[in-house]
Amino acid sequence: MSETTTNVLLCGVGGQGVLLASEVLSAAAMLSGRDVKKSEVHGMAQRGGAVTSHVRWGEKVHSPLIETGTADVILSFEPGEALRWSHYLRPGGVILTAKEPIYSVLVSSGAETYPEDVLQRLEERAGRLIPVDALQEVTALGNPRAVNILLLGMLSVFVDIPADHWKEAIQARVPKKTIESNLRAFERGRELAGS
Amino acid sequence: MAKAFLSGNEALAQGVWEGGLHFATGYPGTPSTEILETIAARFPEVECQWAVNEKVAVEVAGGASFGGARAMATMKHVGLNVAADPFFSLSFAGASGGLLIVSADDPGMHSSQNEQDNRYYARAARCPMVEPSSSQEARDFAIQALEISEQFEAPILFRMTTRICHSKGIVETGSRKEVPRKGYKPDPQARVLMPSNARKRHEWALERARKLEEFGNTCSLNRWEKGSSKVGVVTSGVAYNYVKEVLPEASVLKLGLTWPLPWGLIEEFAASVEKLYVVEEGDPLLEKDLKAHGIRCTGKEVIPITGELNPEIVRRGIAPGSARAQAREPAPAPSRPPVLCPGCPHRPVFYWLRRMRKSTSGDIGCYTLGAIPPLSAMDTCICMGASISGLEGLEKGAGPEAASTLAAAIGDSTFIHSGITGLVDMVYNRATGTVLILDNEITAMTGRQEHPATGRDIRGNPAPTVDIPALCKAVGVERVQVVDPYDMQAVRAALKEEMARRELSVIVFRRPCVLKERSRKKSYAVVDPEKCTDCGACLRLGCPAIEHKENHAWVNPLFCYPECSMCVQVCPTKAISKKTDQ
């Protein structure tokens, strides 16, 4: 089945807006007439822990979970998280990631070290890696909370969903006052991914 | 028919609404919580309420069914342990209005203390069980389950799992069918379960199961998907999806009414294929039943009992070598355990206990995170309410000296759920421990639900309020005080005094959850690197906003909580101050 199925794994840290991004992505895929499934875990996992969301779309999707080694794109809000889930990527797959690391309490307190060569390690595992200064980019656009939409803009270059559906999905799901700045973030994301 | 993108929990709420449900209750518990929240938010026709605990929820739902209404009680898997007493009896007593008991199991223990497989409960209580595999089925099966419940006068155990509850899919929805309430008709011979009646009801429940087995052979909840005669798979729940991904050509018997089992259908299916697999998440229940029935099959030889299933596990088990590409090994990445939020009012209690070399008899909630470094101030966490009774037992078992190194730590919602009875037991049996009620005025861990001490009901309307300190006094605790946990020295002083005293006492630490009342102030802590001696006192708070830079602490202004000043208060060199942006 998965010949016709697109698999995107979103990952980040609780509170970063990963789940809103996967809502927008799923809505855009649904608007383009596909069967869509999305899966994530709530509860204990949310309290500053690692958050992932699996989004799959195609003609008919059974499993709500992506199989390891089959994700077309990993869309990551934090580079260490991209590394954690990089075994989901298919050979030749794309990793799009925000560059800014977020240290866990264990790293802050010195109990663990953060892999400072994380981007290099991602490069080794990805068919293509595009790291961006996501927070800096969206702050420059006037909405520091739009990292998720910026990343979706990058994703839109690599998946087959028409632009109108993206815009409709964004407008329906972000706070009204921020629609303009989010749409700008989306366009900036497309530029950064080289559209 | 309209289309909506719904989680399994939302779809189940949609289904019971369409199926004419009149009444719903439950206690929050991941992954079940959003079922009632969806009803409260979207379906005003359904009367809906949070219960004090799962036992009460099932009893109230049972009463509503006796009263002729279509009713539902929702809970997580361990909640059904709390509700097991009424659940077993209601199966014998029978339902009048359609009655669903929803159990949301948590394979993989994403947010639970155990991995129990609640499909055992259906067999043990002789209660029919329905299991959906997707959001669409959660909606469809809920409608059918209400009908089956009335047709067979049986409560239905409606079993969800985390992956069904929290995955979203496209659901075809319909409109509500109003079902008239049947009205109350007393039936003491069925519902007064004293031995003379209960013996007859047991026979009745067995006969009901025989009829349901017949029904299951032709009922649309069980589906035979004809494929290759070489390989057949019997499966149910989420596992079905993985089977379809990895063995799209196989014949599949997908069971939705999973107890009692439809033996006619299963025998016929088993005879039609050369090799038979049973793919089920959790314990080998279907498999053992098939084997006991004399059907040869392969199950847990190739599919693990523990953890959640996923496509690669099922592929390795029943279609090894079929993967298109060899998956890589996971890369090592820094661990990221969940932590208490910046500004969490639970933090000072664990911070000081750790500093005082004391610990807690813990309980179920966000504050269980007090067990994790650097707070590390929890010795036990067993089940809802056990912090209090466990501390009492420790005193009986190890003596007051050992028990005085611990305090019971329990949240407000958990205290209402099942802490009160333990506290009464402490009073009655002359226990001398210290009970800490961490009152953040909400059920926080599950996503901020109201409860009987918050003053609001599930729909946000004002509600009568239990006064926790007054309740503690009323049951006989003489020393009860309320402390603001943001006052670090007051927390320390109260803990020190009460834990040194050989007398039962309660300290209520009261301040709203930071996620309940988000502050609008733009204030954050700033560290003066000149004054900071890098002593690590603030880092011992385990606050995710505080980081260690080369030779000083640093507070991330994006994460810092405006109202909180814990780090300012614990800094011995006054290197931290709060700055307010205008």
The whole-angstrom separation of Cα B509 and Cα B506 is: 10
Contact A44 B244 (CB under 8 A): no
Least trusted range by pLDDT, from B426-440, B464-478, B505-519? B505-519
Min Cα separation A95/chain B (Å): 14
Q: How far apart are CA B23 and CA B276, in angstroms?
A: 42
Statement: residue A78 has pLDDT above 50: yes
Please check whether residue A110 touches B, CB under 8 A.
yes
Which residues 6+ apart lie within 8 Å of B117 measured at CB?
B105, B107, B282, B283, B285
User: What is the per-residue pLDDT across B477-503, written as a single tens digit (0 to 9) for each?
Assistant: 999 999 999 999 999 999 999 999 999
Give the A window 28-87 contacts with B, CB below 8 Å.
30, 35-50, 61-70, 80-81, 83-87
Q: Do A47 and B339 touch (CB under 8 A)?
A: yes
Q: Mean pLDDT of all residues in chain A? A: 92
Distance of alpha carbon B18 from alpha carbon A195, whole angstroms = 46
Q: Which residue of A has its CA nearest to B341?
A: A47
Give me the CATH code for the B223-318 domain, please. Answer: 3.40.50.920
Contact, B172 vs B10, CB < 8 A?
no
Predicted TM-score of the model (pTM): 0.96
Residue A43 pLDDT exceeds 60: no
> Which residue from B minimizes the CA distance to A56?
B169
**DSSP-assigned states of every residue in A115-164:** -TTHHHHHHHH-SEEEEE-HHHHHHHTT-TTTHHHHHHHHHHTTS---HH
Cross-strand pairs, B554: B547
Structural contact between residues B135 and B167, judged by C-beta atoms closer than 8 angstroms: yes
User: B465 is written with which tokens?
Assistant: 């309020």
Q: Is the pLDDT of residue B278 over 50?
A: yes
Chain A CB contacts of B311 under 8 Å are: 63, 65-67
Instruction: Classify strands B23-26 and B47-50 as parallel, antiparallel or unpaired.
Output: parallel
SS3 B134: coil
Six token digits for residue B4: 């909506």
Residue ranges of alpha helices (H) inside B293-429 are 311-318, 347-355, 386-403, 412-414, 420-428
Question: To which H or E segment does residue A171 belong?
Answer: helix A163-173
Confidence of residue A2 (pLDDT cuts 50, 70, 90): very low
Tell me which residue in A38, A90, A104 faces B167 most closely, judged by beta carbons.
Answer: A38
pLDDT digits (tens, 9 = 90+) for B85-108: 999 999 999 999 999 999 999 999
CA-based torsion, B307, B140, B27, B192: positive or negative: negative
- Structural class in CATH, domain B2-218: alpha beta
* Min Cα separation A173/chain B (Å): 13
CB contact under 8 A, A41 and B329: no
Centroid of chain to Cα B455: 23
Strands B406-411, B359-361: pairing is parallel
Per-residue pLDDT of B445-478, as tens digits, reads: 999 999 999 999 999 999 999 999 999 999 999 9
For β-strands B523-527 and A35-40, DSSP reports them as unpaired
Instruction: Kindly report, as residue ranges, where domains of CATH 3.30.70.20 are found in chain B.
Output: 523-580
Closest CA to B68 of B115, B6, B20: B20
Provide CATH 3.40.50.970 ranges for chain B: 2-218, 347-510
Residue with tokens 């079922």: B35
Q: Answer yes or no: do B338 and A14 touch at CB < 8 A.
A: yes
Chain B residues touching residue A81 (CB < 8 angstroms)? 333, 336
Query: Shortest CB distance from A44 goes to which of B111, B163, B323?
Result: B111
CA B567 to chain centre: 33
Q: Is A124 on the interface with B (CB under 8 A)?
A: no
Using a pLDDT cut of 70, give the percent of chain B over it.
99
- How is residue B352 written in tokens? 């000081």
Give B-chain residues touching A112 at CB under 8 angstroms: 334-335
**Is there a contact between B22 and B69 (Cβ–Cβ < 8 Å)?**
yes
Nearest-Cα residue of chain A relative to residue B540: A109
Helix, strand, or coil (residue B503)? coil
Contact A91 B325 (CB under 8 A): yes
Euclidean distance between CA atoms B171 and A172, whole angstroms: 19
Residues A53 and A39 sit within 8 Å (Cβ to Cβ)? yes
Nearest to A107 by CA among B541, B532, B547: B547
Question: Is the distance from CB of B159 to CB of B130 less than 8 angstroms?
Answer: yes
Q: For residue range B234-250, what is the model confidence (pLDDT) as tens digits?
A: 999 999 999 999 999 99
Q: Choose from B112, B134, B225, B336 for mutation: most chain A CBs within 10 A.
A: B336
Q: What is the CATH number of domain B523-580?
A: 3.30.70.20
Angle CA A71–A76–A82, to nearest 5: 70
- Name the fold adopted by B347-510: Rossmann fold (3.40.50)
Peptide bond into B334 cis (omega under 30): no
Q: What residues does B277 pair with on adjacent strands?
A: B233, B298
CA distances (Å), origin B536, targets A173, B489, B553: 42, 19, 8
In the DSSP assignment, the letter for residue B416 is I
CB B509 within 8 Å of CB B536: no
Query: In chain A, whose CA is at the least distance from the CA of B238?
Result: A63
Q: In order of start, what are the domains of chain A with their CATH numbers?
A: 2-192 (3.40.920.10)
- Chain A, window 5-24: residues with a beta carbon less than 8 angstroms from a chain B beta carbon: 13-14
